Structure 1
Amino acid sequence: MAISKRKKFLVKHASWLLMIVLLVFWEFICRALQVPQFLFPAPTAVLEAGIARWEIISMHALQTLYTTLVGFAIAVAFGLLVGMAVGSSPLVYRALYPMMVGFNSIPKVAFVPVLVVWFGIGTVPAILTAFLISFFPVLVNVATGLSTLEPELEDVLRSMGASKLDILRKVGLPRTMPYFFASLKVAITLAFVGSVISETVASNLGIGYLMMAASSSMDMALVFAGLIVIGAMGVGMYELFALTEKRFTGWANRGSGGVA
């Protein structure tokens, strides 16, 4: 019984325990090897920098969160609509899907200079970069969910008088929900990547800009504080969508030991 309780405790708090171990190891290495702070600051130095400059960090973090969520919302809407078209129509699939794959293969950082020329330095390039890098997972998952609908089921529904729109609305979309919510967890993390990439190149506000400014003055503690803030926001949004997925698609999860 005691072993079972200990195992449940370890499984429940595994991520926190691993994080504590890594932080202690990180601190030990920095102190034992006397690593200069401008090269690799210890966790205590990063914490001090975060507390001392929390107002500045929070201002830039809110800007990054704003651009990420706006770009992500556009990506979800676009990916959902195009994914429905691609997944429900063989003609659209043949015409559009190869083009989307080719577009997704282009590194999104290559679009940032173009966006700067079109929209100038600021928020808009960051939003569009977040959109460009995060819409493809939504598109692919929605299209996959619709295209895996059994032909036999469609035939039965048509024989009962259901139109193609009825099949899409009453069967296709509900069947696609697990794919859709799974894609949201991937897309939101990619949206943060897109925002920060654009902010490091074409912005004067945001965590990406803050990190570039800090690195230019060799303030690595502030750089690592920015990295931790980005990671924390990404984990928070991921967990939010994981909870939403469980709430709306719990019927699709047949086991409790899988990955969220």
Structure 2
Amino acid sequence: MKLTRRARDHIKSAACIVALFVAWELACVAFRISPIVLPRPTAVISTLIVQMPALWPHILQTLATTMLGFLLGTLIGVALGAFVGVSRSAYNTAYPLLVGFSSIPKVAVVPIFVLWFGSGTVPAVLTAMTTCIFPIVVNVATGLATTEPEMEDVLKALGASRRQVLWNVSLPRAMPYFFASLKVAVTLAFVGTVLSETVAANRGIGTVMMMATASFDVPLVFAGLFALALLGILLYVVFAGIEQRVCGWATRKQDLAVA
């Protein structure tokens, strides 16, 4: 039976994950670790399955909030990235400001959003949005700004306008950078959403985790973490698939069959 290299990589990754959970389970049993300190993975998975009917509305709330913030962040990030990438003066002016803004811990801006808009969904959406803007701006600007000067010179010598160079060369070159940033940004958006939910929300996985922490229900806290991890992996895989479809020409083929 022939397996592709990608299939073999997936099998190895799955085996490593299973081995990690087995080691976790054995460590909890061997060292008699209290469930309040570190619950067994079997207990966490059992809690996740049993509590799924109650968790599902909160999962959907977190997912919807994250995707809305991610969509807004993508639109703003692409606009800023295009503005910064096509203009050297804009790059020199805006980039230090973007770096400074991205260096501010997002937990510090959540109280400001709550002060402006009150507790609820809006601060979570804004936190997710601000968390995912920076990687999109950086990657889009980098993709647009790193077009080879020689290629631009050749196209201009052939009579191409700057708009034609941007449309036919710079934008296609920026697409791999853009989709790579989306995979990072969507996971960061989850971080921003849950961060805000733990501070100022009445629905969402972050809220459930805070309530579980207050009642010392540690397996439920870890079940929330598992749910977040699964959502993050799912969205990462979705955007990786879109990237492969749109920008497959920019990556090396890894689907060669091997014995």
- Which range, TM-score by smaller chain? over 0.9
Report the 3-state secondary structure (helix = DSSP H, G, I; strand = E; otherwise coil) of the residue aligned with 1:256.
coil
Equivalent residue for 1:22? Answer: 20
| Structure 2 CA distance for partners of 1:153 and 1:9, relative to 1, 3 Å | closer
Among residues 145, 153, 165, which one is paired with 2:143 in the alignment? 145
Shift of 1:20: 1.0
Shift of 1:7: 8.8
Deviations, residues 187-216 of structure 1 (Å, cap 9, x unaligned): 011010000100000111111111010011
Quote the RMSD (CA, aligned, Å).
Answer: 1.8
Equivalent residue for 1:220? Answer: 218
| Structure 2 CA distance for partners of 1:173 and 1:59, relative to 1, 3 Å | same
- Letter matched to residue 153 of structure 2: D
- Letter matched to residue 19 of structure 2: V
- Letter matched to residue 243 of structure 1: G
Equivalent residue for 1:183? Answer: 181
Shift of 1:93: 0.9
Among residues 37, 40, 44, which one is paired with 2:38 in the alignment? 40
Answering whether residue 207 of structure 2 is matched by residue 229 of structure 1, we say no
Distance 1:244 1:89 in 2: 29
Among residues 72, 82, 101, which one is paired with 1:84 in the alignment? 82
**Would you say how many aligned residue pairs link Structure 1 and Structure 2?**
255
| Structure 2 CA distance for partners of 1:215 and 1:140, relative to 1, 3 Å | same
TM-score by length of 1: 0.93
Report the 3-state secondary structure (helix = DSSP H, G, I; strand = E; otherwise coil) of the residue aligned with 1:13.
helix
Shift of 1:36: 1.8
Ranges of 4+ aligned residues in structure 1 off by more than 3 Å:
4-10
Report the 3-state secondary structure (helix = DSSP H, G, I; strand = E; otherwise coil) of the residue aligned with 2:35.
coil
- Letter matched to residue 146 of structure 2: T
Structure 2 residues not aligned, in runs of 5+? none
Deviations, residues 201-249 of structure 1 (Å, cap 9, x unaligned): 0111111111010011000000000000000000010011111111111
Answering whether residue 247 of structure 2 is matched by residue 249 of structure 1, we say yes
Answering whether residue 60 of structure 2 is matched by residue 62 of structure 1, we say yes
Report the 3-state secondary structure (helix = DSSP H, G, I; strand = E; otherwise coil) of the residue aligned with 2:34.
coil
On the 8 A contact 2:127/2:193 being kept in 1, the answer is yes
Equivalent residue for 1:53? Answer: 51
Among residues 120, 134, 137, which one is paired with 1:136 in the alignment? 134
Shift of 1:112: 0.1
Distance 2:159 2:68 in 1: 41
Between 1 and 2, higher relative CO (CA 8 Å, sep ≥ 6) is seen in: 2
% same residue: 49
Equivalent residue for 1:239? Answer: 237
Structure 1 residues not aligned, in runs of 5+? none
Equivalent residue for 2:191? Answer: 193
Equivalent residue for 2:164? Answer: 166
Report the 3-state secondary structure (helix = DSSP H, G, I; strand = E; otherwise coil) of the residue aligned with 2:89.
helix
Distance 1:5 1:227 in 2: 33
Equivalent residue for 1:113? Answer: 111
Distance 1:95 1:37 in 2: 52
